[in-house]
Every structure is written in C-alpha cells, then in structure tokens.
C-alpha cells in the first residue's frame, strides 16, 4: 500500500487586492506599541502592526487613538507603524486608550492602559504592558529600558504564582461591537494581569487589560469582533500562562421591527 502527501498553497496573485496575512515568525501580539517622552515632556505612542498586507492596502493604512484625552496622530502614517502624540497633560495615574488600525476594509483594534512610566509603584508587568521600559528594577521612559516581558519573568519567582480557578464571566452574552465591560469571577485572581478572549476561528486570541482586581473578581474590556461567535476566556498570569476556561457568546445587537401598542395616552 502506498501513501501520498499533497500540499496546496495559494500565491498572492490568487488573492484579492485587500489580502492580509500573519508572518511566519511568531508574534506575541498582532499590534505592539511603546510609550515615549522626550525632553520637552511630550508623550507619544508608537504603534506597530505585525502583519503582511497587499501593496494596495499599504497605501490605505490609517491609525487613530480614542481616549478621554486628546491625541494627534501624525498624518500619512507609513505601514506598518504610526505615531500619535498626546495633546493634553497626562495628569492621571492611568489612562484607557483604544487604538484603531485600518488597511482599507480590514480593521484592527487594541485596548491598552497608558501609565506614567516614571511611577515607581508600577510592577514590571504593568510597566511593560503600558509600553514603558524596565531598567534597574523600576519603570522608566528611558529608551534604554527593556520593553520585553521576558525581563519580568526573570525577576518573578514562578513558585509564588497561584493558578486562578473556577472562573466565570458576566455577562456571558455580549454584543460583537465590544463597547462594554465584563466581570470575571473566580478563585486566586490576585496575580491576574490580563484576560484573553479566543474564538475558534481566530488567528490569535485578543488580550484585554484588567482593573478593580480584588482577588475574587476583576473587570476587563470586551474586545470587539466582526461577527457572531462562541469564544473562550482565560486569566493571564505574569509568566504569560493562561488559566481557567469560561464561555462568552458574541451576538449582534437587537433590532426593533414593531411597537405594540401603536396608540398611547397623551400623558
């Protein structure tokens, strides 16, 4: 008996003009970023997209940031990187920021928390995930600071990490527009630094920052998606491991087709 193995591939010419693909090399995040501050005190975020896109889509690359403060994204960003400058003063300890990237009809969204990188109370994980650098055991705006989470794993004793368990999410049914928050409940949540949401057909899970963590419950953003889907949620520790499994269902927003009754009292 003979066995045969066939392998089929598509060339770029076989695809539409707006194709997007993930590079062969492993990327922890599709969108990465770093926070910078110059001598004048100007704060900016440099966003980089780790995707390969069609030549036509590269010319349609746009970048936008949404938050409670005003941002000015530099015009005509060059794929795969864009720079946005904070127009207001960063006078809060933390700032929720949403980054919107578009390649023509393809859109990407990333939610992040921006901290003051000079805040000495920041942990290594908070520092790196805010796009800051870690140097001499403290967070810094310094460009020479390490901006990779591996520095946190080296400084953290994994024996002290307690695995979260028995996690659940409320609400379990959410809109796929992702414009709301959810609560994750469970045991041993103190060391949780993020929440991953992964649908079966997604290329990579989406990761959201957490806050209001009291060890038994925490709050996180629901990442948006383009369609309805069943997704799994797990809790991320500082060593990058993800624990527990909870279900969440993305569904379209409700629509109204008729109102009963069509007659009402004037008052």
- Predicted confidence (pLDDT) at residue 218 exceeds the cutoff of 60: yes
Cβ within 8 Å of residue 14, ≥6 positions away: none
Question: What is the reported pLDDT for 3?
Answer: 46
Which secondary-structure segment (H or E) carries 48? strand 43-49
pTM of the model as a whole: 0.55
Confidence of residue 32 (pLDDT cuts 50, 70, 90): confident
Question: What is the reported pLDDT for 105?
Answer: 75
Residue 157: burial class (beta carbons within 10 Å; 0-12, 13-18, 19+): exposed
Question: What is the reported pLDDT for 16?
Answer: 57
Pairing of strands 229-236, 242-251: antiparallel
Confidence of residue 13 (pLDDT cuts 50, 70, 90): low
For the chain, what is the mean pLDDT? 79
- Summarize the confidence of residues 169-178 as an average pLDDT: 85
- Predicted confidence (pLDDT) at residue 264 exceeds the cutoff of 60: yes
Confidence of residue 56 (pLDDT cuts 50, 70, 90): low
Contact, 49 vs 83, CB < 8 A? no
- Predicted confidence (pLDDT) at residue 115 exceeds the cutoff of 70: yes
Contact, 83 vs 77, CB < 8 A? yes
| Of 50, 45, 54, residue with least CA distance to 15 | 54
Identify any residues that bridge with 164 across adjacent strands, giving them in sequence order.
none
Q: What distance in Å separates the CA atoms of residue 107 and residue 224, rounded to the nearest whole number?
A: 11
The residue with greater pLDDT, 84 or 224, is 84
Question: What is the reported pLDDT for 211?
Answer: 83
Question: What is the reported pLDDT for 262?
Answer: 76
- Predicted confidence (pLDDT) at residue 80 exceeds the cutoff of 70: yes
Domains and CATH numbers, the chain: 16-116 (2.60.40), 160-251 (2.60.40.10)
- Predicted confidence (pLDDT) at residue 116 exceeds the cutoff of 80: yes
Question: What is the reported pLDDT for 147?
Answer: 84
3-state secondary structure of 67: strand
Least confident of 141-145, 175-179, 229-233: 175-179
Kindly list the distances between the CA atom of residue 113 and the CA atoms of 38, 87, 256, in Å, as whole numbers in the listed order.
20, 17, 36
Instruction: Report cis status (omega within 30 of 0) of the bond before 147.
Output: no
């Amino acid at each position: 008996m003979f066995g045969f193995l066939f392998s089929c591939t598509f060339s770029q010419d076989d695809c539409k003009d707006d194709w997007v693909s993930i590079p062969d090399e492993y990327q922890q995040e599709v969108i990465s970023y770093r926070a910078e501050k110059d001598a004048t005190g100007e704060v900016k975020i440099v966003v980089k997209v780790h995707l390969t896109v069609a030549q036509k889509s590269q010319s349609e690359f746009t970048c936008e940031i949404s938050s409670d403060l005003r941002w000015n994204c530099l015009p005509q960003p060059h794929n795969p990187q864009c720079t946005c400058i904070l127009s207001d003063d960063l006078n809060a300890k933390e700032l929720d920021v949403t980054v919107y990237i578009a390649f023509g009809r393809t859109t990407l969204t990333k939610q992040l928390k921006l901290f003051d990188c000079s805040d000495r109370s920041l942990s290594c994980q908070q520092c790196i995930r805010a796009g800051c650098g870690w140097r001499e055991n403290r967070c810094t705006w310094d460009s020479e600071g390490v901006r990779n989470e591996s520095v946190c794993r080296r400084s953290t004793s994994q024996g002290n990490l307690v695995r979260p368990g028995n996690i659940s999410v409320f609400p379990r049914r959410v809109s796929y527009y992702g414009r709301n928050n959810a609560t994750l409940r469970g045991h041993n949540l103190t060391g949780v630094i993020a929440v991953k949401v992964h649908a079966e057909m997604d290329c990579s899970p989406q990761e959201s920052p957490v806050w209001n963590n009291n060890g038994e419950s925490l709050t996180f953003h629901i990442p948006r998606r383009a369609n309805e889907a069943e997704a799994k949620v797990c809790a991320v520790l500082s060593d990058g491991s993800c624990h527990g499994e909870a279900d969440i269902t993305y569904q379209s927003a409700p629509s109204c087709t008729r109102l009963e009754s069509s007659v009402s009292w004037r008052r």
